[in-house]
Structures are given as structure tokens and as C-alpha cells.
Amino acid sequence: MKMFSLMWILLTGALIAPTAGFAQISCSREGLQGAVDLYIAAQTKGDVSGLPLAKGLDYMENIAPANIDNGLIKKPMKIDFHRSLLDPATCQTFTEVIVTDNENPYVLGTRLRVNRDKIAEIEIIWTTKGYWGFSADSYMKYSSTEKWDTIPADKRDTRATLVSAAGAYLDAFLEQKKDLVPWGYPCVRIEGGMYTGRGTPNDSCDVGVPSGVNIVNRRFVVDETIGSVVVFCTFGAASPTGRGGAPDSHLFRLENGKLRYVHTLTHLKQADFQGPLPPGSAPGLGPGAPPKKQ
């Protein structure tokens, strides 16, 4: 009788216990980290069967609806480096993924949105060979050595400050109101793989910011604990809806209210860039000009 009771307890527990892995998904920081961990595992294997996907999942690549069954997420990748933002206020995550494989290099920016214990949205902006300023090796070299550690609670910038700084930076591309941007020193920018830093205390991200470039369709993921905000947007749009522009992400880290790091990914083929590059524009020096669709 005792043996029967014990077996019944074990069987009942097995039936009501959540599926391993899926139970860790939620809108808490821990739950969002669990979602990121499952995503990294899925992208590594090219297999989404381990992801707790919601019915009616919204899957996008480069700001357009896509079919997950033949999406980039189904492509196995050896991930060399990744870092993530966790945003419990909006139940979102952002993960920068770097793949330096010689045959199939990629840099990805992946946004997840969690709804209770399911992943309701997956959005990927990806760049690879032939795209704007791309160099996975350079991206890896610089991004992986930067300091994106946790900021003490009493020194963290507010969510509003982070969003405002990101907005001011993107606004500067349209009307050149650069005095509203909280420039920090040193500040370095990685753009596809191109790099503005020279290793001096005076390194600035206030380089290569032209005028007349409209950046619309902005969506934010914010992580105050590491002073970071990322914006998914359309770069160089010809209309408020993003028509004619390029899918883009801008990732920022602020320290004491000032810009420290800027990372950008633009899904635009290098061949579609229109117009000559300004002097000094080369991988490792920074582009100094925005991409434009023909």
C-alpha cells in the first residue's frame, strides 16, 4: 500500500510539473534570461523545438513578417559571443549575437517579447558578407572587449534618461541638433564592423552624423541595470511608415548620463550605398556617412 501511494505521488508530480526549460520563461529578469538562454540554444542548433512559442507567434526578419519555418533562426550557428538586455517593464529582451565563421559570418540583433510563459514575438535584424560595413571579426574584436557590466543601483540612469538619449542621437541625423545629444568621452562606435575608436580619452561618437536622414518606426528595449537601450528602427526612411529605408538597430550604453558605446547594425547591401564615402571612411575608422537606398 505504501509503495502504491509513493508511486501515485511521483506520477502525479510528473504530470503536473511544468515542462523542463519552459517553466523558466516569465517577465521577471530571471524569466527573461531564461528566454534568452533558450533562444541561444535554439539558434546554435537551428532548432526551435525547445522554444515555448505562443500560438500566433509574430516572427520577423529585418522589420518584415517572415516564415519561421525557413527563417534564419533555423540556420545552425556557432555563436562566438553574445550579450543581452533584459526589460521586465515591457517583457522584452535584446541579444547581440556574433558569428565569426569564415563561410557564414553573421552579426544579429534579436528581440524577444514574452507573454506569461511563452515567447510571443521574435524579431531579428541580421547582417553578413556584402552588407553595410560588415566585418564579424572586427565586431567581435571590439564588442567582446568592451565593459558592459552592472551599474550600481545608486548610479543608474533612469529609463526615461536612456530613451531620451537614444532618441536625441537618432534625431540628430535629421536636423543636426547635436547639442541635444549627451555626448560622453571617451565614446566609441561599432557600425557593422567599422570602428571609430583610436584608444584615446578624447574618442568621440560625434563623428559621421550627417543631416537629412529620417529615422522612424522606433521601438525600444531598455535595461537600466547596465545603462543600455536598443532601438529597432528604419534608417533613411522616405516616409513616416519607413518606406524606402533600411532595417536598423542602434544599441547604446550610457554611464553617468553620457554616451559610452554605440553599436549599429544596418540591413543594407554595400552595393546599395549611394554616393562617395568621406575621407577616412574605412573599416576600423568609421563610416562617417549613412547608407541610402537607391
Pick the CATH number of 153-272 from 3.40.50.970, 3.10.20.30, 3.20.80.10, 3.10.450.50: 3.10.450.50
Q: Is the pLDDT of residue 151 over 90?
A: yes
Domain ranges of the chain: 22-141, 153-272
Predicted confidence (pLDDT) per residue in 196-252, tens digit = 999 999 999 998 777 788 999 999 999 999 999 999 999 987 766 656 789 999 999
Q: Is the pLDDT of residue 286 over 90?
A: no
- CA dist 177 and 159 (Å) reads 22
The CATH fold assigned to 22-141 is Nuclear Transport Factor 2; Chain: A, (3.10.450)
- What is the reported pLDDT for 182? 97
Let me know: does 123 contact 99? Beta carbons within 8 Å: no
Strand order in the sheet with 118-127: 64-65, 53-61, 118-127, 106-115, 92-99, 81-87
Rounded alpha-carbon distances, angstroms, from residue 245 to 28, 218, 237, 251: 35, 13, 4, 18
- CA dist 288 and 72 (Å) reads 30
The highest-confidence range among 2-6, 218-222, 241-245, 278-282, by mean pLDDT, is 218-222
- CA dist 150 and 222 (Å) reads 14
- What is the reported pLDDT for 271? 85
C-alpha cell at 73: 533562426
Does the fold of domain 153-272 match that of domain 22-141? Answer: yes
Query: Whole-model pTM?
Result: 0.86
SS3 assignment for the chain: CHHHHHHHHHHHHHHHCCCCCHHHCCCCHHHHHHHHHHHHHHHHHCCCCCCCEEEEEEEEECCEECCHHHCHHHCCCCCCEEEEEEECCCCEEEEEEEECCCCCCEEEEEEEEEECCEEEEEEEEEECCCECCCCHHHHHHHHCCCCCCCCCHHHCCCHHHHHHHHHHHHHHHHHCCHHHCCCCCCCEEEEECEECCCCCCCCCCCCCCCCCCCEEEEEEEEEHHHCEEEEEEEECCCCCCCCCCEEEEEEEEEECCEEEEEEEEECCEHHHCCCCCCCCCECCCECCCCCCCC
